[in-house]
């Protein structure tokens, strides 16, 4: 008994020592627009169980006057409000809750336009910002029907009805579907403004998943990756920046060309990855897995397919096999990600593009782009998070998100696995393409810096990585053991 | 014992199916799991036919899908049963668009039933990139003059599969290379004559839709001087070559 107590005491001592070691480095630094701080070349911030690294590859960044850090619109917001280095260049609910508390809800991140459930709600009430505070979701108002770049209406293949409207925005006479400017409000997480060379690479003239032309960069005329944003509605970082300033920042005048170039210049040199683990220590040490840490992201080539066994998506983890508990677990998780077979079924734009339904494959089949785990081709997929019956909401009646009923026209191709009537909390790509087959398809996200930016999925439904893994386990009947789940979580958390 | 009886039964039934016989039918696909990749099968008139195995997007065979019926148009091929089914080769697979929840048969692996060797298994690929797209293949003969390219489709579909995508890209490259004076795009829709005598006709308007979508792609790829036409009537089916008539032709003239 005494011996057991000694062992327990030793373990507690080691944990406390390690915790203290990393606690010294823990910090949460919310950057306000116009604060004029200088970002160091490398910085590390507190994440769930370690530190997330942020690398400015071009050296220290003086934010004074930098348009990424400057409010360019009318609501006091800058890009940095929703893309904080502390939170892996996105923003977490823990950070938002803390921000609400310290500013009494006055921070511009809570702007009525999209930082609340609907602009018409009483803004001083916390409940009016519940989707942002509980799930990290910003309101994304999208015109319906969708429009072409020249303002003409796109043809659409379905009708859309609002079945449930917990925020009141979709049925609002002022902001809703039947308003003077018909609009659909969906609620989505901000994606990390980092590691972007990987996100924008891989543009090909014809989109594999649709057999149609890829969108073009309006400046260069080149086809784009169509992997930006939840629905690929903006073709380039520049157009995305303009759209964000006119929308999220509520600017009345378009930003200057120079401002946009400065924003893209900053975004394009920021790299984010988990850097250290509370028990595992530094993750990017020499001799370890080559894909971990921010320097690897800076140095590796973008646009490389990693769905192979010789140079896999996040590199080989051989060096950590049989290592200490944490590292061995991460290495097993990497093997599960790359090699654990399961039946991928009923996923539109995966099974439906000639691969068969079901198909026996692995996570890396879809998450195939080296270093980020996005899809190397245009990456929208209906993995089932937003569409009934696999959606993440408990039921229609208790959904925190709006529920829409989509009815496909008779002459259109139906959704390949849900048919002609679909209930969804977010039609995803279909709100841009107008196509029934796209209902519920969401562009895959990069898998880096995850520990710093919970919650997960575009709809913020997974509070933890455990909930992400549980969703996939349930959705694809993967039959993961508890050990396998833990290994996958440790692996994802190390990215 | 039960397996042996079943196989014997299948063998006897199989004996009634003549080599080279065309089999055109609509049914639910069946997925047979194996130790490696799954096999895709379909039943017609009490017989099981082998269609192909899971591969990747670049494969000639694109498997059918559960939750959908499939139009199978294939010829009975020589050789033993594969995955428990009589092999059809060549075989054309068209996934019918409407959802059919009754199509949901996934069979577990069974001793003695193995998938044919697969260039790619169910895990990540082991094939290393070659020196380039042409590496290892015989040098292409230089082409010149008027060239015709044919884009094939699944039944009632205008989705451009990977191979068809390559054809369009090749046609565009050729047209640009020779500075084509005229690129004629012609869309067709067709009829499939089934083995039971029924005829399936592709929907009206599909020929034009196919032609217009190919023309849009060609324009996007930098091809000009396009002439686009489509044939309103569905081409008749003969039960032998029907898949080859679901097409768009691209004729590139110098």
Q: How far is B233 from chain A (nearest CA, A)?
A: 18
A407 φ, ψ (degrees, to nearest 5): -120, 120
Residues A249 and A332 in one domain: no
Of A167, A166, A114, A109, nearest to A138 by C-alpha is A114
Q: Write down the pLDDT at residue B18.
A: 83
Residues A213 and A312 in one domain: no
* Contact (CB<8Å) B123/A338: yes
B32 touches chain A (CB under 8 A): no
Instruction: Tell whether omega for the bond before A358 is within 30 degrees of 0, i.e. cis.
Output: yes
Among B123, B126, B220, the residue to mutate for chain A (most A Cβ within 10 A) = B123
> Which CATH number belongs to the domain containing residue A376 in this structure?
1.10.760.10
Q: How far is B118 from chain A (nearest CA, A)?
A: 13
Residues A255 and A330 in one domain: no
Does any domain span residue A283?
no
Tell me which of A212, A241, A276 is where a domain ends: A276
C-beta separation of A121 from A115 below 8 A: no
C-beta separation of A197 from A269 below 8 A: no
Q: Which residues from chain A sit within 8 angstroms of residue B100, using beta carbons?
A: none
Residues A331 and A476 in one domain: yes
Give the DSSP H/E element, type plus range, for residue B9. helix B2-15
* Contact (CB<8Å) A213/B57: no
Tokens of A175: 């902001």
Tell me which of A260, A276, A292 is where a domain ends: A276
Residues A78 and A142 in one domain: yes
Query: Which member of A310, A356, A415 has the closest CB to residue B63?
Result: A356
Tokens of A125: 């009430």
A458 φ, ψ (degrees, to nearest 5): -60, -25
B247 touches chain A (CB under 8 A): no
Residues A145 and A251 in one domain: yes
Q: Which residues contact A403 (CB under 8 A, 6 or more apart)?
A: A162, A163, A164, A393, A396, A423, A424, A425
Domains of chain B, start order: 2-107 (2.40.50), 147-253 (3.30.1330.60)
B38 touches chain A (CB under 8 A): yes
* Contact (CB<8Å) A354/B161: yes
Q: How far is A177 from chain B (nearest CA, A)?
A: 29
* Residue B51: closest C-alpha in chain A: A356
**CA distances in angstroms from B79 to A293, A446, B50, B87, B252, listed in the order given:** 54, 47, 12, 8, 41
Does any domain span residue A14?
no
Residues A392 and A247 in one domain: no
* Contact (CB<8Å) B123/A346: no
DSSP assignments along B59-85, one per residue: SS----BTTS-EEEEEEEPSSS-BTTB
Tell me which of A208, A243, A276 is where a domain ends: A276
Count Cβ–Cβ pairs < 8 Å, chain A vs chain B: 111
* Contact (CB<8Å) B62/A355: yes
Q: Write down the pLDDT at residue A25.
A: 42
Query: Which member of A310, A356, A419 has the closest CB to residue B65?
Result: A356
Residue appearing with tokens 């990600």:
A337
Q: Write down the pLDDT at residue B133.
A: 45
* Contact (CB<8Å) A205/B221: yes
Residues A351 and A268 in one domain: no
Does any domain span residue A5?
no
Distance CA A416, CA A419 (A): 6
CB under 8 A, 24+ apart: contacts of A127-132 = A129/A100, A129/A105, A130/A400, A131/A167, A131/A187, A131/A400, A131/A401, A131/A460, A132/A96
pLDDT > 90 in chain A, percent: 90
In total, how many domains does chain A have?
A: 2
Q: Output Rg (C-alpha) for chain A, integer angstroms.
A: 22
C-beta separation of B58 from B162 below 8 A: yes
Specify the DSSP class assigned to residue B122: S
* Residue B34: closest C-alpha in chain A: A360
Q: Which residues from chain A sit within 8 angstroms of residue B98, using beta carbons?
A: 414, 419
Residues A317 and A259 in one domain: no
Residues written for chain B: 254
A46 φ, ψ (degrees, to nearest 5): -55, 130
3-class DSSP state of B253: strand
Question: pLDDT 10s per residue in chain A (495 long)?
Answer: 455 554 555 454 444 444 444 444 445 589 999 999 999 999 999 888 899 999 999 999 999 999 999 999 999 999 999 999 999 999 999 999 999 999 999 999 999 999 999 999 999 999 999 999 999 999 999 999 999 988 999 999 999 999 999 999 999 999 999 999 999 999 999 999 999 999 999 899 999 999 999 999 999 999 999 999 999 999 999 999 999 999 999 999 999 999 999 999 999 999 999 999 999 999 998 999 999 999 999 999 999 999 999 999 999 999 999 879 999 999 999 999 999 999 999 999 999 999 999 999 999 999 999 999 999 999 899 999 999 999 999 998 899 999 999 999 999 999 999 999 999 999 999 999 999 999 999 999 999 999 999 999 999 999 999 999 999 999 999 999 999 999 999 999 999
Tokens of A363: 């996570």
Residues A149 and A256 in one domain: yes
The model's pLDDT over B144-198, given as tens digits with 9 standing for 90+, comes to: 899 999 999 999 999 999 999 999 999 999 999 999 999 999 999 999 999 999 9
* Contact (CB<8Å) A356/B64: yes
Does any domain span residue A184?
no
Does any domain span residue A172?
no
* Contact (CB<8Å) B57/A355: yes
Distance CA A47, CA A49 (A): 6
Distance CA B251, CA B175 (A): 9
Q: Which residues from chain B sit within 8 angstroms of residue A414, using beta carbons?
A: 97-99
Does any domain span residue A170?
no
Please give, one letter per residue, the 3-state secondary structure of B143-206: CCCCEEEEEECCCCCCCCCHHHHHHHHHHHHHHHHHCCCEEEEEECCEEEECCCCCEEECCCCH
Q: Write down the pLDDT at residue A28.
A: 58
C-beta separation of A400 from A393 below 8 A: yes
Residues A30 and A107 in one domain: yes
Query: Which member of A357, A359, A361 has the closest CB to residue B67?
Result: A357
C-beta separation of A455 from A463 below 8 A: yes
- Return left, alpha or beta for A435; rule: phi > 0 is left, psi -120 to 50 is alpha, else beta: beta
**CA distances in angstroms from A130 to A81, A121, A315, listed in the order given:** 18, 11, 39
**CA distances in angstroms from A69 to A138, A237, A314, listed in the order given:** 19, 16, 31
For the question of whether the overall pTM of this predicted structure is more than 0.90, the answer is: yes
Residues A309 and A401 in one domain: yes
Tokens of A204: 């090909």
Does any domain span residue A294?
no
Query: Which member of A206, A354, A414 has the closest CB to residue B97?
Result: A414
Does any domain span residue A194?
yes
Residues of chain A in Cβ contact (below 8 Å) with chain B: 205-206, 208, 210-213, 307-310, 312, 338-339, 341, 343, 345-346, 351-362, 364-365, 411, 413-419
- Please give the residue range of the domain that contains residue A406: 301-493
Which residues of chain B fall below pLDDT 70?
1-16, 130-142
Q: Write down the pLDDT at residue A26.
A: 43
* Contact (CB<8Å) A413/B123: no
* Contact (CB<8Å) A213/B220: yes
B93 φ, ψ (degrees, to nearest 5): -115, 125
ipTM of the complex: 0.90
* Contact (CB<8Å) A208/B64: no
């Amino acid at each position: 008994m005494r011996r057991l107590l000694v062992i327990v005491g030793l373990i507690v001592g080691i944990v406390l020592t390690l915790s203290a070691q990393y606690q010294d480095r823990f910090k949460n630094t919310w950057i306000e627009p116009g604060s004029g701080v200088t970002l160091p070349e490398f910085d590390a911030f507190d994440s769930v169980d370690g530190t997330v690294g942020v690398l400015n590859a071009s050296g220290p960044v003086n934010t004074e006057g930098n348009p990424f850090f400057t409010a360019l619109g009318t609501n006091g917001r800058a890009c940095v409000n929703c893309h904080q280095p502390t939170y892996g260049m996105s923003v977490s609910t823990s950070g938002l809750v803390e921000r609400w508390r310290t500013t009494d809800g006055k921070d511009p991140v809570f702007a009525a336009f999209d930082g609340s459930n609907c602009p018409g709600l009483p803004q001083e009430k916390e409940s009016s910002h519940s989707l942002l505070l509980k799930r990290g979701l910003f309101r994304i108002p999208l015109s319906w029907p969708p429009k072409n770049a020249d303002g003409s209406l796109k043809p659409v293949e379905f009708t859309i009805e609002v079945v449930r409207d917990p925020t009141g925005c979709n049925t609002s006479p002022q902001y809703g579907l039947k308003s003077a400017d018909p609009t659909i409000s969906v609620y989505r997480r901000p994606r990390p403004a980092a590691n972007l060379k990987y996100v924008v690479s891989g543009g090909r003239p014809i989109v594999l998943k649709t057999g149609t032309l890829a969108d073009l960069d309006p400046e260069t005329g080149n086809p784009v990756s169509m992997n930006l944003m939840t629905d690929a509605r903006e073709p380039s970082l520049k157009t995305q920046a303009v759209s964000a300033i006119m929308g999220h920042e509520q600017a009345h005048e378009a930003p200057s060309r120079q401002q946009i170039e400065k924003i893209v210049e900053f975004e394009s040199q920021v790299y984010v990855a988990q850097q250290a683990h509370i028990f595992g220590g530094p993750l990017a040490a020499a001799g370890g897995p080559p894909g971990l840490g921010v320097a690897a992201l800076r140095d590796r080539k973008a646009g490389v397919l990693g769905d192979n066994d010789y140079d896999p998506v996040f590199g080989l983890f051989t060096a950590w096999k049989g290592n200490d508990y944490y590292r061995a677990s991460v290495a097993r998780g990497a093997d599960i990600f790359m090699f654990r077979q399961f039946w991928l079924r009923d996923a539109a734009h995966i099974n439906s593009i000639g691969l068969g339904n079901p198909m026996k494959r692995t996570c890396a089949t879809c998450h195939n782009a080296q270093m980020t785990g996005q899809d190397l081709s245009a990456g929208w997929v209906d993995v089932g998070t937003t569409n009934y019956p696999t959606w993440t909401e408990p039921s229609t009646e208790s959904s925190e998100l709006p529920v829409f009923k989509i009815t496909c026209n008779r002459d259109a191709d139906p959704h390949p696995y849900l048919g002609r009537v679909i209930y969804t909390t977010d039609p995803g790509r279909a709100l841009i393409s107008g196509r029934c087959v796209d209902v519920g398809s969401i562009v895959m996200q990069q898998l880096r810096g995850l520990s710093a930016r919970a919650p997960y999925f575009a709809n913020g439904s997974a509070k933890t990585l455990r909930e992400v893994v549980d969703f996939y386990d349930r959705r694809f009947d993967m039959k993961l053991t508890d050990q396998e789940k833990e290994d996958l979580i440790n692996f994802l958390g190390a990215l | 014992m039960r397996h042996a009886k079943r196989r014997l039964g299948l063998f006897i039934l199989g004996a009634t199916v003549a080599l080279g016989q065309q089999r055109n039918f609509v049914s639910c696909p069946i997925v047979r799991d194996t130790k490696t990749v799954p096999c895709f099968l379909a039943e017609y008139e009490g017989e099981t036919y082998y269609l192909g195995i899971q591969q990747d997007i670049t494969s000639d065979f694109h498997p059918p899908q559960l939750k959908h019926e499939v139009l199978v148009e294939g010829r009975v091929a020589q050789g033993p049963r594969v995955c428990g089914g009589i092999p059809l080769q060549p075989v054309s697979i068209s996934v019918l668009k409407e959802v059919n929840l009754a199509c949901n048969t996934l069979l577990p692996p069974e001793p003695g039933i193995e998938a044919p060797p697969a260039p790619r298994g169910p895990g990540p690929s082991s094939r290393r990139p070659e020196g380039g797209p042409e590496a290892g293949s015989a040098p292409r003969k230089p082409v010149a003059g008027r060239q015709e390219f044919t884009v094939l489709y699944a039944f009632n579909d205008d989705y451009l599969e990977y191979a068809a995508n390559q054809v369009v890209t090749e046609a565009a490259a050729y047209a640009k290379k020779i500075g084509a004076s005229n690129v004629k795009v012609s869309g067709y829709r067709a009829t499939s004559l089934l083995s039971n005598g029924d005829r399936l006709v592709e929907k009206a308007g599909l020929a034009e839709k196919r032609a217009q979508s190919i023309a849009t792609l060609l324009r996007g790829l930098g091809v000009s001087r396009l002439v686009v036409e489509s044939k309103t009537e569905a081409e008749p089916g003969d039960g032998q070559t029907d898949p080859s008539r679901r097409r768009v032709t691209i004729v590139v003239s110098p």
